[in-house]
Structure formats: C-alpha cells, structure tokens
Amino acid sequence: MDRAKIYKNVKDINEEEFVLPGTPLCAGCGGLLALRLAYKVLGQKVVILNAAGCFTLLSTYPYTPFRSSWLYTAMACGPAGAQGIRDALDILIEKGSIPKEENLKVVVLTGDGSAYDIGLQSTSGAIHRNLDFYYICYDNEAFGNTGFQMASSSPYGSRTGTTQPSDAYPMATEQQKKDLFEIWRAHKPPYMATVSPAHPVDLSAKFKKASEYKGPKLFITLAPCPTGWGYGASRSNRIAKLAVECGIWPLKEAIEGKLKHTYIPKFKPVEEYLSLQGRYDHLFKPVRNDFTIKKIQKGIDRYWAPFLKLTSCKR
C-alpha cells in the first residue's frame, strides 16, 4: 500500500515498484507510465483483468512484469471478467473457503478501442451492477495494437491508418471523439476521473480518493503513443502536459456523478499540442488547414465555457 496519506508533490509518491521493467511495450509508452503510477497507489494485492489491446503483451508467456496476478481476456469482456473474479472472491470468503487475507482488488486494464467500442456494453453492465472494481482505460485515441486505426476515441482532425487525409477528407478523422466520460457519468458510479501520466500527483491523489469508495472506480488516462501519434519517444510527457494545458485533455473527477475539474489549465493554443505530432501533420503541411485547426480550438473553448463561467462566479 502507498505510504502517503495525501499527495501534495512528487516526493509523496510510493518508491516501491509493482510493474517491473522489461516489458515488450514501446519505449516511451504513456499508458505504461500511467499504469506504473496507478499501481503505486493500488499496491500489491491486485488482480488485473486485461482486455485485448496493446497491454496484452505486458504478460507474454513465460514472462510477467507483475508481482501480482493477471488474467488476459478477450476484447469485449474485461469488466465481465472482473465480475467473475470479484464475485468468486466474495463468495469464497463469505463461505469460509478462503481466508479474507487472500482478498484482492480487481482491476480492469483496457485500451480505448475496447473501452469506447467493443467493450462498452460489458462496462455499462458492470457499472450498473455496482461492481466493486477499478477500471483503467489507457487512451491512445485509436486501435494502437493493430497498428493505429481509427476508433471512436480518435479525435477529429487526427490521422490514423484508416482515416488518412485526402482531398475529400482534408481533416483525416471526420468524427468527433466519443465522450466516454459523460457516458459513464450517466451511470452515476461512485468515482470516476480522467488522469494523465505527466501529472503524477493528480493521478495518485485520484487513485487514493477512489479507494475510499466501494463500487466502480473508473479512470481514463491519456496515453501518449510515440508510434501512433508520430513523435520521438522522449516527448511523451511533454505532449501529455500540453494536452492538459491546451485544455484538450481536461483533468477532472466525478463523485456520484458530480463533476469537478481538478486543474484549470493555462489554455495555450491547441496548435502547440497538435504541431508536435505526426498525426496532425496534414493540418500544417503542405498547406495550413485553418478551418480544421480552428474547429478543434472551438471544440475546446465550447467544452470549457460553462465551467469557466461557474469558476468566475465563485470568485
């Protein structure tokens, strides 16, 4: 378990490691960093239910990076798998078949392709059943494990393997990113939050706070992806921070459905974030696509407008 009672700065973060090095994941994987940080709060008594995605390869027989348990399941059913384990542990402990010291936290680990699309039904089911579990979606905004094709998590204006820019589609991906957070929030789970691997204190505090609630504890973490997003691996955290500062990745939480932003960004122009990534190259080269860039910026402004009003009222 983490030692810190509250997370105020980096020094409060647990030094013990639970996800050990040597995984086959890409160098600079933002999702892996988020998982490592989350684990530092969750501790060792954990079983992970991994839905098919990039993280499938974390445990590749005969290797595992974990000091705790792991079960790999198919893409559609991470939360359903969590249900079976949670229920089995509960009933076995209740019947006295196993001692309660053997209890585990059940954690679903899933990519956005599963979370936003094929696994959404089983997630909705698990939230509805008030399953006591953690759900971590590492969101790299496309089907990353298959080589980066469009998912409903892919942002408007981004390039993926199946939404290449063309004369007819200068913006590349024409749909807006699905608002999974609000879909979840409609279920009113006890705790849910967005996090970023480059905001480790915020991330840790949220996992800590979540642990006070029984029921679904849902997280979407931004997962900067050097290969899919097209940038040098060293820039993962810089890009994650820009996503927050531009307001395109709001850091927020909702307790019993009540929404709160945990950080008000500096609202840098989104261009600063977009221009660092190959997946947005077509918006700048060979000619600048002002229409699409402005539309992305407007989307951000429209998202924040009501909250900023609220904040200024309070002031």
Contacts to other proteins from residues 141-160, by CB under 8 A: none
Interface residues for other proteins in 249-308 (CB under 8 A)? Answer: none
**Subset of 234-253 contacting other proteins (CB under 8 A):** 234-238
Cβ nearer to other proteins, comparing 98 with 186: 98
Nearer to other proteins, 30 or 157 (CB): 30
Residue (286 or 306) nearer to other proteins, CB: 286
Residue 277's nearest CA partner among 222, 207, 226 is 226
Nearer Cβ to other proteins, position 230 or 304?
230
Instruction: Give min distance, CB of 15 to other proteins, in A.
Output: 6
**H-assigned helices in 155-252:** 180-185, 200-210, 236-245
Q: With contact defined as beta carbons under 8 Å apart, do 246 and 299 qualify?
A: no
Task: Tell me if 221 contacts other proteins by CB under 8 A.
Answer: no
Residues 180-209 contacting other proteins, CB under 8 A: 197-198, 200
For the chain, the farthest-separated pair of C-alpha atoms sits apart, in whole angstroms, at: 69
Burial profile 53-85: b = 16 or more Cβ within 10 angstroms, e = fewer: bbbbebbeeeebbbebbbebbebbbbbbbbbeb
> Scanning residues 52 to 111, which ones bind other proteins (CB under 8 A)?
56-57, 59-74, 76-77, 79-85, 87-92, 95, 97-98, 101-104
Of residues 68 and 158, the one with the C-beta less far from other proteins? 68
| Residues 26, 29, 33, 36, CA torsion sign | negative
Nearer to other proteins, 154 or 236 (CB): 236
In the complex, what is the shortest distance from the CB of residue 276 to other proteins, in angstroms, rounded to a whole number? 12
Rule CB under 8 A: say whether 129 interacts with other proteins.
yes
Task: Work out how close the CB of 104 gets to other proteins at its nearest, in angstroms, rounded to a whole number.
Answer: 6
Beta carbon of residue 44, minimum distance to other proteins (angstroms, whole number): 8
Instruction: Select from 1, 3, 6, 20 the one that contacts other proteins (CB under 8 A).
Output: 20
Among 33, 137, 220, 251, binds other proteins (CB under 8 A): 33
- Closest distance between other proteins and the C-beta of residue 313, in Å? 35
217 Cβ contact list (under 8 Å, min separation 6)? 133, 134, 135, 189, 190, 191, 192, 210, 211
Question: Which of 56, 236, 221, 19 has the alpha carbon at shortest distance from 144?
Answer: 56
Judge residue 234's burial from the number of C-beta atoms within 10 Å of its C-beta, 0-12 exposed, 13-18 middle, 19 or more buried.
exposed
Closest CB to other proteins among residues 211, 237: 237
Pick the closer one to other proteins by CB: 147 or 309: 147
d(CA 67, CA 173): 40
Query: What's the length of the chain?
Result: 315
Please state the closest distance from residue 241 (CB atom) to other proteins, in A: 9
Cβ of residue 78: shortest distance to other proteins, in angstroms?
A: 9
- CA geometry: angle 187, 36, 213, nearest 5 deg: 35
* Measured distance CA(106)–CA(79) in Å, rounded: 10
Residue 21 engages other proteins in binding (rule: CB under 8 A): yes
CB 292 within 8 A of CB 283: yes
